[in-house]
Amino acid sequence: MKKITTITLGCLLAITSLKAQTFSDSFETYTVTTPLLGVQSPNWRTWSSTVGGGADDVPVVTSDNHTPGGSKSIYFSSTLSTGGPADVILPFTASTPLSTGQFTFTSWFKIPTGKNGYFNFQGNATMGNQYALDCFMTSTGAINIENSGTIVATGTHPFGAWFELTIKVNLNTNKWELLVNGVSQGIWSNTINQIWGIDIYPTDASSSYWVDDVSYNVAPYTLPALNGALNLIGISNGLVGQSRNPAITVRNLGTSVINSFTLAISQNAGAPVIQSVSGLSLASLSSTVINIATPFTLTAGANVFTSTITNVNGLGVDGDISDNVISKTLTPVTPALGKVVVAEEGTGTWCQWCPRGAVYMDAMKSKYAGYFAPIAVHNGDPMVVTAYDAAIGTLITGYPSALVDRLPKIDPSGIETDLLARVVVAPKAFVVNGANYNSVTRVLNVSVKSTIQTAITGNYKVACVLTEDSVKGTGSTYNQSNAYAGGASGVMGGFELLANPVPAALMRYDHVARFISPSFAGYPATGTSAAAGAIFTYTYTFTLPASYNSSKINIVGLFIDPTGKIDNAGTSTIAQAITNGFVSGPSGVDVGVIETPFAPDAQVSIFPNPSSNYSSIKLNLAKSSSIQVSIYSVNGSLIGNKDYGQLNGNLTLPVDMTQLNSGMYFVNVTINGSTSMYKLIKE
């Protein structure tokens, strides 16, 4: 097996006839000293289809078994981070996938403590072309069933004991069910509603598991003369308040051509949306997808969508009413107010698997618009930003990899999981980008304004990133290496239809990091604490090269917590930032200024400035106030701080600069929890 997860929506291939069939294998008839496959079995084969088994064969063992009175099973393990080499296939049908009738698969598994196991169902006989489902039996004791990269059912498994895993499928109604030891763990509709065979493959160096008593059963379906069936409500989960347009998959499970029908779909038993469909010529066993024009808004709690097909060919009730109604339940996530989640992806044109990152980043940007800021950090190609690449390179291993809000690195296929976990976390600050732009000089001034929502302690930091969409180039270094070419590694957002490499003329790179300022870590913003309501505004100046398209530039302002995670972000185009308004401040990418939240009865100044030895902080306090002072170097290092306690009246606090090197420093003055920052120059 060459791939674990995909995000493809497979087509439904038809079968014209099918006989009832059953299969079971307890492995008791095989020779232990010879691998299971090849000449020993007419039913099993390997991924490579090598005659006689080959290097990806699996052994029959006597180290453990489930069969009562038996002694044998097959054993999968790997010492490789990439998994394998064992990779065996059991076809359920000779060539044409199963796409109607009832199908049941059952097998017994045993997994040692802390180890994992895996198998998948292939959607057709071209290995790797369609993954109907992936079953991950994890080292934490979870069973996760994934369909098109989304977890659709979960269960648990024991360690060190045999357990029965069953997949039941009604291919007519697209009803799939997971059972563990006979107990249902979940029911779902599959985006790929067909099955060709099972692929068993140890995915990494933590894989270790026995398999025994494998069986399946196929009960065929007799087509009535006229039958319009509902197979799938295509509507993705998301965030409360987002809109979704359902897409209903209708299948002709009769022998007569379908020309018309009426669809109804409702949300939580509300008033249904009615859509009449005509002008079709839907052949027997063919499918069509009907996009519902009316959007539905996701609400808090369970959202039950129910669709019904009626009046097929204008004849009222069809020949099988059991497949005329389908439901799907979504429970959307309620996002925290003002939250934007950031994903930074390590990528490169030289990286053959990096199309996966591009596809997933685009999918998340589309699905979570307004709540998600993607940044593609390039490595080893013409789009590299050296400082950004070097910084992210210390946090990832391999390409593509992604950091969501700078949590531990993940594969880009896992972005959504981390995104949904982070989007519910209330941010400490709301972030708004402002800008002004001179189209002649191409100078872009950006202000990143962070408004504290709840009191914070510790040194939070601020940074600004510019990204560009639709980047293109003409040289060979803009060609995209593409492991998905030809489809052998699965479907990947259209890259399976392109060459390897993809010519530069066909490539458009999105979310490309162009600038990061002042650094990956950001610049100190808050000192040691800040109260709710404090406002920190940092300004940045960028000169856009003539090759950059200003209309495709995105501004991402980052508010970074003391642990280095991104607490929150603000994202905007240049035009949107100009509408927000630029907040004036000192120029220069490393200079920050705070919109002073002090009351009118507190005045602060620093004099002399610049100074070669001593300077003074002058305070005019009309009432007793708590005072703290912190001094930072230009790279964010804390030089010193002092808590003066309660002070009152006109005061002068000395700043000794005799031991400091010449350059720029920043002084944070905190009065009653509100902080203001001042630039101080040592001559």
Tokens of 450: 């962070």
Position 17 pLDDT exceeds 90: no
CATH 3.30.470.10 fits 337-426+472-507, yes or no: no
Domain range 427-468+515-595, CATH class: mainly beta
Q: How many CB atoms lie within 10 A of CB 68?
A: 7
Are 625 and 648 contacting, i.e. CB atoms less than 8 angstroms apart?
yes
Position 549 pLDDT exceeds 50: yes
pLDDT attached to residue 524: 75
Terminal C-alpha separation, the chain: 65
Bridge partners (DSSP) listed for residue 670: 628, 675
The percent of residues above 90 in pLDDT, for the chain, comes to 68
CATH 2.60.120.560 fits 21-219, yes or no: yes
Mean pLDDT throughout 472-488? Answer: 92
The percent of residues above 70 in pLDDT, for the chain, comes to 92
Place of tokens 């609400």: 299
Helix (H) or strand (E) holding 209: strand 208-219
Q: How many CB atoms lie within 10 A of CB 486?
A: 14
CATH code for the part of the protein at 228-330: 2.60.40.10
pLDDT attached to residue 434: 94
pLDDT attached to residue 622: 84
Mean pLDDT throughout 132-139? Answer: 95
Residue of 560, 565, 300 lying closest to 450 (CA atoms):
560
Residues near 321 by beta carbon (within 8 Å), at least 6 away in sequence: none
Residue of 432, 464, 638, 664 lying closest to 535 (CA atoms):
432
Mean pLDDT throughout 160-175? Answer: 96
pLDDT attached to residue 607: 81
Q: How confident is the model at residue 102 (pLDDT cuts 50, 70, 90)?
A: very high
Residue with the bigger pLDDT between 283 and 487: it is: 283
Are 403 and 409 contacting, i.e. CB atoms less than 8 angstroms apart?
yes
Residues near 424 by beta carbon (within 8 Å), at least 6 away in sequence: 333, 334, 335, 336, 339
From residue 334, how far is each of 239, 298, 451 by CA, in Å? Answer: 6, 10, 22
Position 18 pLDDT exceeds 80: no
Position 388 pLDDT exceeds 50: yes
Q: How confident is the model at residue 600 (pLDDT cuts 50, 70, 90)?
A: low
Position 614 pLDDT exceeds 70: yes
Same fold, 228-330 and 597-682: yes
Backbone angles phi, psi at 419, to 5 degrees: -60, -45
Q: How confident is the model at residue 601 (pLDDT cuts 50, 70, 90)?
A: low
Q: Which residue type occupies 263?
A: L
Residue 135 CA from chain centroid, whole number: 19
Task: Compute the mean pLDDT over every residue in the chain, rounded to the nearest whole number.
Answer: 89
- Count the alpha carbons within 13 Å of 553 in the hemisphere toward its beta carbon: 27
pLDDT in tens, 106-129: 999 999 999 999 999 999 998 888
Label residue 161 exposed, middle or buried (CB < 10 Å: 0-12, 13-18, 19+): exposed
How far apart are alpha carbons 104 and 107 in whole angstroms? 10
Bridge partners (DSSP) listed for residue 199: 89, 120
Label residue 609 exposed, middle or buried (CB < 10 Å: 0-12, 13-18, 19+): middle
User: Residue 413: helix, strand or coil by DSSP?
Assistant: helix
Are 186 and 168 contacting, i.e. CB atoms less than 8 angstroms apart?
no
Position 163 pLDDT exceeds 80: yes
For the chain, the domains span 21-219, 228-330, 337-426+472-507, 427-468+515-595, 597-682
Label residue 140 exposed, middle or buried (CB < 10 Å: 0-12, 13-18, 19+): exposed
Position 314 pLDDT exceeds 90: yes
Position 663 pLDDT exceeds 80: no
How far apart are alpha carbons 79 and 205 in whole angstroms? 4
Mean pLDDT throughout 308-321? Answer: 94
- Compute the chain's Rg from CA coordinates: 31
pLDDT attached to residue 648: 87
How far apart are alpha carbons 528 and 461 in whole angstroms? 11
pLDDT attached to residue 525: 65
How far apart are alpha carbons 496 and 498 in whole angstroms? 6
Q: How many CB atoms lie within 10 A of CB 672?
A: 17
pLDDT attached to residue 534: 87
Q: Mean pLDDT lowest for which of 60-74, 178-192, 414-428, 588-602? A: 588-602
Residue of 514, 542, 518, 404 lying closest to 461 (CA atoms):
518
Domain range 597-682, CATH class: mainly beta
